[in-house]
Chain A
Amino acid sequence: MADPMRIRAQLAGDKATVRVLMNHEMETGQRKDASGKTVPAWHITEVSAQLNGKPVLSAQWGPSVSKNPFLQFSIRGAKAGDKVAVQWKDNKGETRTDEAVVS
Chain B
Amino acid sequence: MKLYLLATLAVASAAAFAQTKSAADGIAEYRKLLEDGNPAELFEAKGEALWKQKRGPKQASLEACDLGQGPGVVKGAFVALPRWFADTQKVQDLESRLLTCMGTLQGLDTAEIAKTPFGRGEQANLEGLVAWISAESRGMKMNLPASHPEEKRFYEIGKRAFFFRAGPHDFSCASCHGEDGRRIRLQDLPNLTKNPGDGVGFAAWPAYRVSSGELWSMQRRLNDCFRQQRFPYPGYGSELTIALASYMGINAKGAVSIAPAIKR
Contacts and interface: CB of A to CB of B under 8 A. Distances in A.
Query: Chain B interface residue count: which class?
Result: 10 to 19
A3 B39 contact: no
A40 B37 CA distance: 27
A97 to B, nearest CB: 16
B182 interface: no
A21 B37 CA distance: 7
A88 to B, nearest CB: 14
Contact of B210 (A4, A19, A66, A72): A66
Interface in B30-50: 34, 36-37, 39, 41-42, 45-46
B62 to A, nearest CB: 19
A76 interface: no
B167 interface: no
A72 B42 contact: no
B213 A21 contact: no
Interface residues of A, number: 11
Q: Is the interface of A mostly helix, strand, loop or mixed?
A: loop
Nearest to A17: B36
Contact of B213 (A3, A67, A70, A72): A67
Nearest to B214: A67
Given A3-B46, A72-B36, A21 B41 contact: yes
A68 interface: yes
A4 B213 CA distance: 17
Contact of A6 (B34, B45, B210, B213): B45
Contact of A19 (B37, B46, B213): B37
B195 to A, nearest CB: 32
A21 B46 contact: no
A68 B39 contact: yes
A6 B37 CA distance: 10
Interface string B85-107: 00000000000000000000000
A50 interface: no
A46 to B, nearest CB: 20
B207 to A, nearest CB: 14
A24 B237 CA distance: 29
A23 interface: yes
Interface of A: 3-4, 6, 19, 21, 23, 66-68, 70, 72
Given A6-B41, A6-B42, 12 more contacts: A6-B45, A19-B36, A21-B37, A21-B39, A66-B213, A67-B213, A68-B39, A70-B34, A70-B37, A70-B39, A72-B36, A72-B37
